[in-house]
Amino acid sequence: MVTAPANPKNNAPRQASLEVFHLIQQFLYREARLLDEQRYDDWFQLMDEEFTYWVPVPQARYRRDKKGTYERDRMAHFDDSLAELKLRASRWKQRTAWSEDPPTRNIHYISNIEVEPSEGENDWLVRSVAISLRNRNEDEEDWLGGRRIDLIRQTPEGLRLVRREVFIAQTVFLSKNFNTFI
Amino acid sequence: MVETFQRENNLAASDLDFHQLVDVEAGWIDRRIFWNTDIYQLELERIFARCWCFVGHESQFIEPGDFLTTYIGQDAVIVAKDRKGEVNVFLNSCTHRGNRVCFAETGTARQFTCNFHGWAFGLDGGLVSIHEEEHYSGCANFDKSKLGLHRARTESYKGLIFATFDPKAPSLNEYLGDYRYYLDVLLDNDPGGTEFLEGNVKSRLRSNWKFAAENFVGDAYHAGWTHASAAAAIFGRGVKVNPEKSFQASVNGHGTEFGLDLIGNAMALGEPEVVDYLKENEARFAERLGKLRAKMVGSMSSANVFPNLAYLPGLNTWRTWLPKGAHEIELNTWVLVNRDAPKSLKEAYRRGISRTFSPTGMFESDDGENWEHCTHSNAGVVTRRQKLHYGLGLDSAIDHEEFPGKIHRVQLNDANQRAFYKRWADLMSASDWSSLDNN
């Protein structure tokens, strides 16, 4: 099993309190629900202005290979700034987005949440597992699972997502498209 | 090489009159060609096991041992560079019990060893060694030199590597014919040549492979409607085609529909640097391609090389439609760039294409939806009896002083699709290459 990169800062002394853990957990659940409800503008409100979103395309390589399953410079499903994510979402909102009408029924399932300290005083490195289930039209069903590593910041306005990396397991993307975020 | 069996003759389908199923003179197509599995099985024999199929770009094979795995039709193959510098293509199936011998999609290897009994094959497909060979000491018909993996013929054109399993197929140059004029628009606009960016995207669509191929060979018509939402999001307006200065060109079933607007496709990438690069380099492109062809480098256009290699100038996505049964394809995509282009331009392409022409992209999302339902509606027996209309532009053929091939005016046209299906019917009807007219 290829694992996502380890947190280089996990020797830091700070630990997440139960309260912080609870806040972050609820933040992730709410964020997932906003995606299910396709409330993209509200979802974007949870992002820091500098938000980056990376979902690399994994490759099945032999263990002895010098290159890994996930590499930064390879083709990615997403390698976006906040503005670029907003551009993608703006298509879904067009009246002429034929394939979004009737809408896809989305369920984002979030689990395996671990909260670790990060470099910044108000930052937390949050690991989770996300599974996206989409149903469309009569009988179309698509699943996508990934391990996520988020950088989440505590701000006076509440928690904000600063960075998200999603390490999905499908090398061949077993769907015709992906019309949500994970 | 071990004696290979003659191709199977799929009688049920080979009795069909394929030129009647695709009536290219009148512009009607019988939907059974998108649904019937016996027709699909015959396609594997008469199209995919016979034509030159794209397997990779030379930039993917730098060092000896560099390899990737892909498919020709549904035949799994390994493409590997050997120590002499040759790129070889051979079946990914052991000559002992038929197990797959390479499970990685790409990488570097010294040999490919079967997991079952340890038979190991070299970078040219030859059988190098086997586990405990002494057991075979008294085995009269065990000859390692005859137990290599079945090889395909391999030839390349300006960086693109193709392979065919048919020893009687014409040379790749003959097979591509005058279509090379159009390929050169992307493959030869810069003295440094081209390369693929690192990595690729693979996805599955529940579509017959021909709906994807015909879409790229000549369906400019769908862009304005299917992609209205993506165009509105990116440009803030719709897609408009110039009827005066746009064309369709086809050669041997290969085809491209194109405008002469230099940047039409590139605009869709949403990366200003790409548009600037095209504008700044138009005169340089013209030195190699001539003034007219230089206007095609990033223009509103699409193309498909028969049977299943497609690309979009300007967006520079290159893709294969790998058939996975009559009703499913695996779409493999790469990004082609000029090798000497600035690093920042390559990065703009890498990120831009994921937002546009990839399964998560704004354009591709809509295409897959259409092709899947064009395919699966044909499960209905009465539906399947209703022929489809391919009659747009039946009277639009012209002669053009510069463009080679069969030329039709106005890129909004079914002409290239009819030419694609004519080639398809010719191949499906022909018993071998000698009875085919290659022009």
> Domain map of chain A by residue range?
39-96+104-168
pLDDT given at position B11: 55
Interchain pair A74, B354: CB under 8 A? no
Under 8 Å between Cβ of B106 and B69: yes
Within 8 A by CB and 6+ apart from A171, the residues are A57, A58, A59, A60, B105, B202
What residues of chain A lie within 8 A of the CB of B104, using their CB? 60-62, 65
d(CA B223, CA A72): 32
Domain range enclosing B274: 177-433
Examine the fold and report which residue of B126, B156, B186 is the final residue of a domain before the chain moves on.
B156
pLDDT band for position B15 (cuts 50, 70, 90)? confident
pLDDT given at position A1: 41
Interchain pair B355, A80: CB under 8 A? yes
Mean pLDDT within A77-104: 94
d(CA B424, CA B429): 9
- pLDDT beyond 90 at B435: no
Shortest alpha-carbon distance between residue B331 and chain A (Å): 9
d(CA B92, CA B108): 16
- pLDDT beyond 80 at B345: yes
Other Cβ atoms within 10 Å of B302 Cβ, number: 25
Interchain pair B204, A65: CB under 8 A? no
Tokens 């896809």 -> residue: A104
pLDDT given at position A13: 61
Within 8 A by CB and 6+ apart from B275, the residues are B263, B266, B267, B298
Taking the Cβ of residue A177 and every Cβ of chain B, the question of whether any pair is shorter than 8 Å is answered with yes
Closest CA to B205 of B42, B40, B75, B366: B366
Question: Which H, E and C letters describe B310-355, residue by residue?
Answer: EEECCCCEEEEEEECCCCCEEEEEEEEEECCCCHHHHHHHHHHHHH
Nearest to A61 among B104, B226, B234 (CB): B104
Q: Which of B357, B366, B374, B377 to mutate to test the interface with A (most CBs of A within 10 A)?
A: B366
Interchain pair B202, A172: CB under 8 A? yes
Pair B116, B186 in one domain? no
Q: Which of B354, B357, B367, B373 to mutate to test the interface with A (most CBs of A within 10 A)?
A: B354
pLDDT band for position B9 (cuts 50, 70, 90)? low
Strand partners, A110: A130
Q: Which of B78, B332, B365, B373 to mutate to test the interface with A (most CBs of A within 10 A)?
A: B365
Pair B265, B148 in one domain? no
d(CA B168, CA B366): 40
- pLDDT beyond 90 at B350: yes
The residue in chain A having the minimum alpha-carbon distance to the alpha carbon of residue B203 is A173
Pair B138, B234 in one domain? no
d(CA B51, CA B427): 9
The residue in chain B having the minimum alpha-carbon distance to the alpha carbon of residue A176 is B205
User: How do residues B48-67 score in pLDDT, each as one tens digit?
Assistant: 999 999 999 999 999 999 99
pLDDT band for position B10 (cuts 50, 70, 90)? low
Helices (H), chain A: 18-36, 40-44, 82-92
Closest CA to A58 of A13, A100, A110, A3: A3
Pair B139, B195 in one domain? no
Taking the Cβ of residue B293 and every Cβ of chain A, the question of whether any pair is shorter than 8 Å is answered with no
Interchain pair A91, B368: CB under 8 A? no
d(CA B120, CA B128): 6
pLDDT given at position B373: 96
Interchain pair A73, B198: CB under 8 A? yes
The total of structural domains in chain B comes to 2
What residues of chain B lie within 8 A of the CB of A80, using their CB? 351, 354-355
Under 8 Å between Cβ of B396 and B233: no
Pair B279, B365 in one domain? yes
Q: How many residues in total does chain B contain?
A: 439
% of residues, chain B, pLDDT over 70? 97
Mean pLDDT within B317-344: 98
Shortest alpha-carbon distance between residue B195 and chain A (Å): 14
Taking the Cβ of residue A80 and every Cβ of chain B, the question of whether any pair is shorter than 8 Å is answered with yes
What residues of chain A lie within 8 A of the CB of B199, using their CB? 57, 59, 71, 73-76
Tokens 């206007």 -> residue: B295
Question: Which H, E and C letters describe chain B, residue by residue?
Answer: CCCCCCCCCCHHHHCCCHHHHEECCCCEECHHHHCCHHHHHHHHHHHHCCCCEEEEEHHHCCCCCEEEEEEECCEEEEEEECCCCCEEEEECCCCCCCCCCCCCCEEECCCEECCCCCCEECCCCCEEECCCHHHHCCCCCCCHHHCCCCECEEEEECCEEEEECCCCCCCHHHHHHHHHHHHHHHHCCCCCCEEECCCCEEEEECCCHHHHHHHHHHECHHHHHHCHHHHHHHHCCCCCCCCCCEEEEEECCEEEEEECCCCHHHHHCCCHHHHHHHHHHHHHHHHHHCHHHHCCCCCCEEEEECCCEEEECCCCEEEEEEECCCCCEEEEEEEEEECCCCHHHHHHHHHHHHHHCCCCCCCHHHHHHHHHHHHHHHHCHHHHCCCEECCCCCCCEECCCCCCCEEEECCECCHHHHHHHHHHHHHHHCCCHHHCCCC
User: How do residues B173-213 score in pLDDT, each as one tens digit?
Assistant: 999 999 999 999 999 999 999 999 999 999 999 999 999 99
pLDDT given at position B87: 98
d(CA A67, CA B108): 10
Mean pLDDT within A90-113: 94
- pLDDT beyond 90 at A7: no
**C-alpha distance from residue B223 to each of A67, B228, B301, B363 (Å):** 38, 7, 10, 9
Q: CB pairs below 8 Å between A and B: how many?
A: 133
pLDDT band for position B285 (cuts 50, 70, 90)? very high
Taking the Cβ of residue A76 and every Cβ of chain B, the question of whether any pair is shorter than 8 Å is answered with yes
pLDDT given at position A27: 98
Burial of B359: CB neighbours in 10 Å, binned 0-12, 13-18, 19+: buried
Strand partners, A174: none
Interchain pair A76, B202: CB under 8 A? no
Pair B132, B186 in one domain? no
Pair B382, B289 in one domain? yes
* Residue B167 covered by a domain: no
**CATH classification of A39-96+104-168 is 3.10.450.50, yes or no?**
yes
Pair B204, B244 in one domain? yes
d(CA B119, CA B56): 26
d(CA B360, CA B203): 10
Mean pLDDT within A115-140: 96
Within 8 A by CB and 6+ apart from A18, the residues are none
pLDDT given at position B362: 94
Starting at the earlier edge strand, list the strands of the sheet with B388-389: B22-23, B28-29, B388-389
pLDDT given at position A9: 54
pLDDT band for position B228 (cuts 50, 70, 90)? very high
Nearest to A96 among B202, B229, B365 (CB): B229
d(CA B50, CA B252): 14
User: How do residues A21-73 score in pLDDT, each as one tens digit?
Assistant: 999 999 999 999 999 999 999 999 999 999 999 999 999 999 999 999 999 99
Nearest to A177 among B197, B228, B364 (CB): B364
CA atoms within 13 A on the CB side of A130: 29
Tokens 């005016």 -> residue: B409
ipTM: 0.94
pLDDT band for position A10 (cuts 50, 70, 90)? low
Taking the Cβ of residue B108 and every Cβ of chain A, the question of whether any pair is shorter than 8 Å is answered with yes
pLDDT given at position B242: 76
DSSP A20-68: HHHHHHHHHHHHHHHHHTT-HHHHHTTEEEEEEEEEE------TT-SS-
Other Cβ atoms within 10 Å of B72 Cβ, number: 26
Q: Which of A65, A140, A176 to mutate to test the interface with B (most CBs of B within 10 A)?
A: A176
pLDDT given at position B183: 98
What residues of chain A lie within 8 A of the CB of B355, using their CB? 80, 84, 87-88
Beta strands B66-72; B406-409: pairing state: unpaired
Interchain pair A79, B202: CB under 8 A? no
Nearest to B204 among A55, A65, A175 (CB): A175
Within 8 A by CB and 6+ apart from A151, the residues are A118, A123, A124, A125, A126, A161, A162, A163, A164
Under 8 Å between Cβ of B262 and B279: yes
Interchain pair A172, B360: CB under 8 A? no
B 333-392 → A contacts, CB under 8 A: 333-335, 350-351, 353-355, 358-360, 362, 364-366, 368-370, 372
What tokens does A2 get?
């290829």
Taking the Cβ of residue A90 and every Cβ of chain B, the question of whether any pair is shorter than 8 Å is answered with yes
pLDDT given at position B252: 95
Interchain pair B107, A78: CB under 8 A? no
- pLDDT beyond 60 at B7: no
Taking the Cβ of residue B270 and every Cβ of chain A, the question of whether any pair is shorter than 8 Å is answered with yes
What residues of chain A lie within 8 A of the CB of B368, using their CB? 176-177
pLDDT given at position B2: 43
Mean pLDDT within B212-218: 98
- pLDDT beyond 50 at B4: no
What residues of chain A lie within 8 A of the CB of B197, using their CB? 75
pLDDT given at position B3: 45
Helix, strand or coil, per DSSP, at residue A120: coil
For position B84, which CATH number holds? 2.102.10.10
Pair B203, B77 in one domain? no
What residues of chain B lie within 8 A of the CB of A92, using their CB? 229
Average pLDDT of chain B is 95
Beta strands B153-157; B127-129: pairing state: unpaired
Helix, strand or coil, per DSSP, at residue A72: coil
Nearest to B105 among A55, A76, A171 (CB): A171
Q: Which residue has the higher pLDDT, B236 or B243?
A: B236
For position B268, which CATH number holds? 3.90.380.10
User: How do residues B399-413 score in pLDDT, each as one tens digit?
Assistant: 999 999 999 999 999
User: How do residues B136-148 score in pLDDT, each as one tens digit?
Assistant: 999 999 999 999 9
